[in-house]
Amino acid sequence: MATTPTPTAAKSRNPRPRSVLRDLMFLRLWAGTTASGLATWALPFVLGLAVLHHDLSAAGLGLVLAARTAGFLAAVAVGGVLADRHSRRAVVRWSALAAALAAPFLAAGLDRSLGLMTAAAALAGAGQGACRPAFQALTAETVSPGHRRQANAAMTMAVRSSTLAGPALTALLATLLDVRSLLLGIGLLWLVAALVPGNGAGTAPDPNVEPAARRGFRPGFRAEFLEGIREARRHPWFLAGLAALVAVIALGYSATSVALPLISRDRYGTEWVLAASMTAYTVGALCGALLISRLRPRSQGWAAFAGLAAYGVAPLSLALPVHPLVVVAAYAVAGIGIELFNVPWFTATQREVAPDKLARVSSLDFLVSYGLAPVGLALIAPAVDAFGVTPVLAACAAACFLVPTAAALAPGSRHFSRTAPAPTD
């Protein structure tokens, strides 16, 4: 004879989902990601201190940072292939260990060998680049689909907090330690990133596809990366989002990076506008991540593209003769908007992309995001010299508004999904 379950029994059979912040495996992953973010943002600041202490020339600083960027771009695509081919946890471990190994060589080369520092910086950048897509895919393995939006918001808050706290913490430690010790400390942060995260659940293979290794061959890196590109092309909303990111990063972000220091000095006659605007951007991004972790827009893709387009208010405020507080407020809005895009974007990528190709698609995302920023910076300065700062800023603001708007018209962009409506994250 069937019995009616008691309320207690029914509750135990259908427990409320736990917050991701109570999941030990996620907290370990979050700690590793935070450590890698602190190490990433601290290195340029520490090397800047080396220039102030005359341990490194300004030209040497440029060469070392360029080597780090080159190492990152060279490794991010390879890291995506490796993370789909092997254990994501193993790729995080070995790439972070490579970045940790670079730290003592950077310290050894300081004021002695610029060549050694350049090679070590390239190794550090390679470790950073290889671990990014692996971290992204490991998040999808570690966190259940219903908690990924909250997890991605926590991850991006860690990155933004690192941006805000990294230089300040480094400056505080610089009163107690020399530059070599600070470089070794960066290596310790990378050790945390390598050793603290746990293993994910793993990626289940597609039962309808026979593994290449079982057929007697393994495709090369180029073929596997192209397979990731083909997977990305299956999602028109993803390609549209990449195009919008190109416009905002290569034009909007680059233009404001070049113009903000100039306008802060020439128009307002103070560095306060520069410092306050950058701080407002980071604080706004933190608020945006917290906001989107709780919001569930009905048309999440359109809402995300609107957030991305909001970055246009930053170059627009610089193009107009407004009160400096308006510039600071515009940067806060831009920061909020960028995270209203980032968190749903990462969550949708983890949901929609085939699990065994997620790291390669993520590496394509990071390759475009990080790779085009230096190109934009290289082009904006000559454009300002040729046309003037105001027309360039106005054009870049228009691109920030218009390209995400056009991207929102792509198939699947309304929900960041090939099916409508998308599953609730």
pLDDT tens digit sequence for 175-208: 888 889 999 999 999 999 999 988 766 554 444 4
Residue 77 and residue 183 share a domain: yes
Residue 423 lies in a domain: no
- Output the pLDDT for position 165: 73
pLDDT of 56 over the 90 cut:
no
Residue 129 and residue 258 share a domain: no
Residue 245 and residue 171 share a domain: no
Residue 247 and residue 116 share a domain: no
Contact 241, 299 (CB under 8 A): no
- Number of other CB atoms surrounding residue 104 within 10 Å: 14
Residue 12 lies in a domain: no
Percent of the chain with pLDDT over 70: 89
Residue 233 and residue 87 share a domain: no
Query: Would you place residue 414 in the very low, low, confident or very high pLDDT band (cuts 50, 70, 90)?
Result: very high
- Number of other CB atoms surrounding residue 5 within 10 Å: 11
Residue 181 and residue 36 share a domain: yes
DSSP string for residues in 333-347: HHHHHHHHHHHHHHH
Query: Would you place residue 369 in the very low, low, confident or very high pLDDT band (cuts 50, 70, 90)?
Result: confident
Helix (H) or strand (E) holding 415: none
Q: How many domains does the chain have?
A: 2
Least confident interval from 263-272, 328-337, 398-407: 263-272
Residue 392 and residue 283 share a domain: yes
pLDDT of 11 over the 50 cut:
no
Residue 172 lies in a domain: yes
Residue 216 lies in a domain: no
- Output the pLDDT for position 218: 62
- Output the pLDDT for position 424: 57
Q: Which of 98-102, 142-146, 223-227, 363-367 has the highest mean pLDDT?
A: 98-102
Average pLDDT of span 225-244: 92
Query: Would you place residue 419 in the very low, low, confident or very high pLDDT band (cuts 50, 70, 90)?
Result: confident
Residue 139 and residue 256 share a domain: no
Cα-based distances in Å from 169 to 98, 220, 291: 24, 43, 26
DSSP string for residues in 153-211: HHHHHHHHHHHHHHHHHHHHHHTTS-HHHHHHHHHHHHHHHHHS------PPPPTTS--
- E strands, 327-405, in order: none
Question: What's the mean pLDDT when you consider all of the chain?
Answer: 85
pLDDT of 374 over the 90 cut:
no
Contact 111, 93 (CB under 8 A): no
Q: Chain centroid to CA 123: how far?
A: 19
Domain containing 305 — which CATH number? 1.20.1250.20
Residue 211 lies in a domain: no
- Tokens for 179? 């530059």
Peptide bond connecting 421 to the previous residue in cis, omega within 30 degrees of 0:
yes
pLDDT of 210 over the 70 cut:
no
Residue 108: CA atoms inside 13 Å, Cβ hemisphere, count?
Answer: 10
Angle, helices 236-246/358-387, rounded to nearest 10 degrees: 30
Angle, helices 24-52/179-195, rounded to nearest 10 degrees: 160
- Output the pLDDT for position 163: 75
DSSP string for residues in 121-157: HHHHHHHHHHHHHHHHHHHHHHS-GGGHHHHHHHHHH
Q: Cα separation of 92 and 240, whole Å? A: 29
Q: What is the CA radius of gyration of the chain?
A: 22
Percent of the chain with pLDDT over 90: 46
Residue 218 lies in a domain: no
Contact 46, 179 (CB under 8 A): yes
Spell out the residues 6+ positions from residue 208 whose beta carbon is closer than 8 angstroms to its own: none
Average pLDDT of span 31-48: 88
- Output the pLDDT for position 421: 58
Residue 185 and residue 259 share a domain: no
- Output the pLDDT for position 217: 53
Residue 120 lies in a domain: yes
Average pLDDT of span 311-316: 95
Residue 306 and residue 397 share a domain: yes
Q: Please work out, in degrees rounded to the nearest 5, the angle formed at the alpha carbon of residue 133 by the alpha carbons of 299 and 36.
A: 110
CA dihedral (322, 324, 326, 330) positive or negative: positive
Query: Would you place residue 173 in the very low, low, confident or very high pLDDT band (cuts 50, 70, 90)?
Result: confident
pLDDT of 118 over the 90 cut:
yes
* pLDDT tens digits along 343-356: 999 999 999 999 99
Contact 315, 252 (CB under 8 A): yes
Residue 172 and residue 55 share a domain: yes
- Output the pLDDT for position 168: 72
- Output the pLDDT for position 328: 95
Q: Cα separation of 231 and 363, whole Å? A: 12
pLDDT of 420 over the 70 cut:
no
Residue 266 and residue 138 share a domain: no
Helix (H) or strand (E) holding 147: none
Average pLDDT of span 299-319: 95
Structural domain that includes position 104: 22-146+166-199
- Output the pLDDT for position 350: 92
Helix (H, G, I), strand (E, B) or coil at 297: coil
Residue 151 lies in a domain: no
The residue that leads in pLDDT, 40 or 332, is 332
Average pLDDT of span 75-103: 92
Q: Cα separation of 367 and 272, whole Å? A: 33
